[in-house]
Chains A and B, each alone.
Chain A
Amino acid sequence: MSAGRERILGGIRKGLGRGKLEGEALAAVEARLSAPARNLIPRRTALPTAELVDLFEKMATDVAATLRRVAGPDDVPDAVAEFLAGLNLPSEIKAAPDPRLDDIPWSKRPTLAVSHGAAADSDLTAVTAATAAIAETGTLMLASSAAAPTRLNFLPDNHIVVLRAGQVTGTYEDGWDLVRAAGALPRTVNFVTGPSRTGDIEQKIQLGAHGPRRLHIILVEDGGETGSS
């Protein structure tokens, strides 16, 4: 045990006027940690599923994300290619090597160059899969894994996220439940709400400070459940 540790913990106990926590008080702490309880959940998301998806779309587009609904995974290559063409961007993507994207037939769009892996500085556009989407604030939940490297979410100028309608849930707490059910907490969990922004110069909001300039969400309406992470 380091001396610094004992000085800090001792200082805390002195301030609180007690010794090391024990007995019932310690049991209460353990209980709170082993069975995390929800606090107040705002009513905003007490909605049927279809309306939750609408709320997610409204909240996400309110903060300058763009969103396109497509019927199924087969439509994703066209949606990606058209997004890039609309901005005069090169028809090139770096996609996460993610099984959740395996049902997307990239070959349908032969002019779209697709490579897989972590993001490099030269990549202009990333495509990743969502873990969940939080309707409350239009927030994407993106959990890391060997198949979902985090850098793709931040380094390229354009970030395209493939989201299945069945992944849209109400609250952050719903998202945590999904992640907990899937096993150990992922190393990185990013909650992403719109593209990068700053108000540091005269409080005038500019998009694309250091992270992506654009966040484009492709919402696959009939993607089925893809598993949470």
Chain B
Amino acid sequence: MQPTSHAFVENAHRALNDAQLHAALGHMKAGFQDKRAATIARMPEFEDLRDQGRAIKNHTLAHLDAYLERFEAKVTETGGRVHWAPTPAEARDAILKICQAAGARTVTKGKSMIAEEIALNEHLAANGIEPIETDLGEYIIQLRGELPSHIIAPAIHLVKEQVAESFYAHHTELDPKRPLDDARALTDEARAMLRQRFLAADVGITGANFLIAETGSTVIVTNEGNGDLTQNLPRIHIVIASIEKVVPTLEDSATILRLLARSATGQEYSAYTTFSTGPKRPGDLDGPDEFHVVILDNGRSALLGTPAQETLRCIRCGACMNHCPIYASVGGHAYGWVIPGPIGAAINPGLIGLEEAGHLPNASTFCGRCESVCPMRIPLPSIMRHWRERQHERKLSPGTVRAGLGLWAWAARRPRLYRFGTRLAAALLGRLGRRRGRLKRLPLAGGWTDWRDLPAPEGRTFQQHWAARRSGAGR
């Protein structure tokens, strides 16, 4: 997709004024946060599992070439085919070729963030092949011509009335007076509408949560069962996955799967976890005749050996965005590209460039909740800081910020002046905010205080407090 991350500031402003969006995002606490906390409380080994998950991925990334080669060898051995795609264009072309060779007219799709990343639907449609999203959330946003706003709940920005509106508008063969006033009726209607599409599709395209080097298997994790119907019914199954999805063994995937659903939806395990290995076997009564795996790089290999390498451990559980105060205020669309939230801020500059995504690492309060819930222990705030530093070096940050930081650095190297300056500022701000303990506006920092209040200093500086603390302790 075409990123609009450069317009984050405008996007975010719009989102902050969108009452319907806030109503929709309001479901996140009960829907995600509370459930996650409850499930994790039932798994006393969760912290140790996180350590192991991190170790598995670190080991894999350090030997990524060898594991990918082994994965390819196993896919070939079991009758499938691997296609290597360094760029989105090469991935799109590989998939289009397979579809065209099969004479495909319709393609069903399981939810895949990589397919979004390479803008696959647009490419297929431009070449006369109709892509049909089958995940309920993806189906809804496809009808609306929108993009997913969350990596595991693509339609989280919508309320049910908006979904009903879209169904009335698109399912014109149905009685226009039918009631569609709850999630049950909407789910049933989507189920009925998509059944025929599943059965008629020539090709099924899914993503992969894991690729298993040991066996050449691809793994999908879903709750709806749409991914399984997508990959089992058509003659051809194409898997699209990025290079970092590989893990060594079935056991390694078992460990990370213990982290995934708990972190994502707060389930103990998702309803369906499916391991697919090659096309159907002799004697099989169903399953695809052809099995293809397209492996995408798109800038990921260039992150190896940099501080952003750690983002490649991500298992796309969504926990970081589910717990992010910024995401909860502006929603996923404001981030302007496929991956929103803290992980988007940490990885998108590496995938679409700092010029495009430079605002995202700044969209953080550095509260640290994302890192504290990330099952793969990705240090998201420090990776955002890394991008900010790159941005500053390359003079991509706004002039006021650069001037302000420059002034601060100049003063900070002059301790007496610094102490005087901060004392003055603290006293001044303390007086300004005395009445409510919060500052509504800060001169020269409107971008900050328009949407959040700065806690007013109490009138003394950190250094003064520290000195008082020290002398108190010495008494």
List chain A positions with a Cβ less than 8 A from chain B. 2, 4-5, 7-9, 11-17, 20-21, 25-26, 28-29, 32-33, 36-40, 42-44, 59, 62-63, 97, 117-119, 121, 136-139, 144-146, 149-151, 153-155, 171-173, 176, 185-204, 206, 208-212
Q: Which residues of A contact B301 (CB under 8 A)?
A: 8, 11-12, 14-15
Q: Which residues of A contact B24 (CB under 8 A)?
A: 202
CA distance in complex: A203, B90 (Å):
36
Instruction: Give chain A nearest CB distance to B202 CB in angstroms.
Output: 17
Q: Which of A16, A139, A154 has a CB less than 8 Å from the CB of B225?
A: A154
> Cβ of B160 < 8 Å from any Cβ of A?
yes
List 30 interface pairs A-B (beta carbons < 8 Å), by A numbering. A2-B84, A4-B84, A4-B86, A9-B65, A11-B301, A12-B243, A13-B65, A14-B301, A20-B65, A37-B249, A40-B49, A63-B268, A97-B285, A117-B285, A118-B285, A150-B228, A153-B228, A154-B228, A171-B254, A176-B254, A185-B275, A187-B284, A189-B275, A197-B271, A200-B137, A200-B140, A203-B27, A208-B187, A210-B134, A211-B225
Stretch at the interface among B149-157, B407-415, B418-426: B149-157
Which residue of A has the minimal Cβ distance to B69?
A9
Instruction: Give chain A nearest CB distance to B236 CB in angstroms.
Output: 15
Instruction: Give chain B nearest CB distance to A210 CB in angstroms.
Output: 4
> Cβ of B329 < 8 Å from any Cβ of A?
no
Write the B127-171 contact mask toward A (1 if CB under 8 angstroms, else 0): 000000011110010000000000001111011100100000000
17 additional contacts, CB 8 Å, given A12-B65, A42-B43, A194-B271? A4-B86, A4-B90, A11-B302, A39-B255, A40-B52, A144-B284, A144-B287, A186-B277, A193-B271, A198-B137, A198-B224, A199-B223, A200-B137, A201-B136, A203-B27, A209-B187, A212-B225
> Cβ of B339 < 8 Å from any Cβ of A?
no
> Cβ of B295 < 8 Å from any Cβ of A?
yes
Contact call A201/B183, Cβ cutoff below 8 A:
yes
Q: Which of A7, A36, A186 has a CB less than 8 Å from the CB of B250?
A: A36
CA distance in complex: A226, B274 (Å):
23
CA distance in complex: A136, B56 (Å):
22
Interface size of B as a range: 35 or more
Stretch at the interface among B211-219, B373-381, B387-395, B456-464: B211-219
Q: Which of B84, B249, B303 has a CB less than 8 Å from the CB of A36?
A: B249
Instruction: Give chain A nearest CB distance to B212 CB in angstroms.
Output: 9
CA distance in complex: A40, B251 (Å):
10
> Cβ of B366 < 8 Å from any Cβ of A?
no
> Cβ of B324 < 8 Å from any Cβ of A?
no
Query: In residues 187-202 of chain B, which contact A (Cβ within 8 Å)?
Result: 187-188, 190-191, 194-195, 198-199
List chain B positions with a Cβ less than 8 A from chain A. 24, 27-28, 30-32, 43-45, 48-49, 52, 56, 62-70, 72, 83-86, 90, 134-137, 140, 153-156, 158-160, 163, 183-184, 186-188, 190-191, 194-195, 198-199, 213-215, 217, 223-226, 228-229, 232-233, 243, 248-252, 254-255, 257-258, 265, 267-287, 295, 297, 301-306, 309
Q: Which residues of B contact A212 (CB under 8 A)?
A: 225
Contact call B232/A150, Cβ cutoff below 8 A:
yes
Contact call B187/A151, Cβ cutoff below 8 A:
no
Q: Which of A16, A38, A117, A204 has a CB less than 8 Å from the CB of B62?
A: A16
Which residue of B has the minimal Cβ distance to A121?
B199
Contact call A209/B65, Cβ cutoff below 8 A:
no
Instruction: Give chain B nearest CB distance to A11 CB in angstroms.
Output: 3
Q: Which residues of B contact A204 (CB under 8 A)?
A: 183
Q: Which of A8, A38, A42, A185 has a CB less than 8 Å from the CB of B258?
A: A42
Contact call B275/A33, Cβ cutoff below 8 A:
no
Contact call B43/A185, Cβ cutoff below 8 A:
no
Q: Which residues of B contact A32 (CB under 8 A)?
A: 248-249
Q: Which residues of B contact A137 (CB under 8 A)?
A: 268-269
Q: Which residues of B contact A172 (CB under 8 A)?
A: 254, 257
Contact call B304/A15, Cβ cutoff below 8 A:
yes
Given A4-B85, A208-B191, verify A199-B43 contact (CB < 8 Å): no
Q: Which of B153, B156, B295 has a CB less than 8 Å from the CB of A8?
A: B295
Q: Which residues of B contact A193 (CB under 8 A)?
A: 267-273
Contact call B153/A199, Cβ cutoff below 8 A:
yes
CA distance in complex: A187, B156 (Å):
34
Q: Which residues of A contact B160 (CB under 8 A)?
A: 201-202
Instruction: Give chain A nearest CB distance to B280 CB in angstroms.
Output: 6
